[in-house]
Amino acid sequence: MVSMLVLMIHTRAYASKWIPMSPQEVIEESVLTVIGTYDFSCKPNTSEFVFEGYPFEVTKVFKGDSPESTLAAIDIHNTGGAKEFQAEGGKFLLFLERRKDVDFLVPIRGLNGMIQVVDEKTEDAYDDIFFDSILKAPFKEPIPGSVKSTSQDNSMLIFLSTSFMADVFIFFLIYWDLRNRPAKVRLAQAFILL
């Protein structure tokens, strides 16, 4: 009985339910609309929410500008199904938005912004005719290059700036200590430091 209570207290459950949107709303809210595939061979960028960020290899851009490889989120509960779908030759039409709580673009309201595509036709979308018309719309080629996670870039910048500040502080302490000692002791210590 006690062990069941302990398990109940320490067990974390995740659930994600997305409110359906009309296709027009999805397009309007999207800052970037692309088609391509996730690169699941890379380690994901995690977040505090239910999203993980993976490199997304872009083949066509319908709205916005995107490099050939951008960082796009996927709901952690959809990763397994997405891997299987891509292994069978599927692609994703993503309608992405920026969110304050993550460092990568996120499909609009989860599955609303993540449409399965097989042979240039949408599959199991809630409005196949509408989304198929997007696939036939004019598109741009992605910009050569890739986008890295801001969190990785920021962590390196923080590390470097902290290291620099620590070096300056240590140098200042040594300088102050040497300036405040008698001349004979300073000379002997300076010789030892060399």
List pLDDT tens digits, range 12-58.
333 444 567 777 888 888 899 999 999 999 888 887 778 888 999 99
**What's the confidence (pLDDT) of residue 134?**
84
β partners of residue 6: none
Region 2-148: CATH code? 2.40.50
pTM score, two decimals? Answer: 0.65
Length of the chain: 194
- 6: region left, alpha or beta (phi > 0 left; psi from -120 to 50 alpha): alpha
Cβ neighbours of 119 (radius 10 Å): 8
CB contact at 8 A, 114 and 107: yes
Question: Which stretches of the chain score pLDDT less than 50?
Answer: 1-17, 149-153
- Residue 85: enclosing H or E segment and its boundaries? helix 79-87
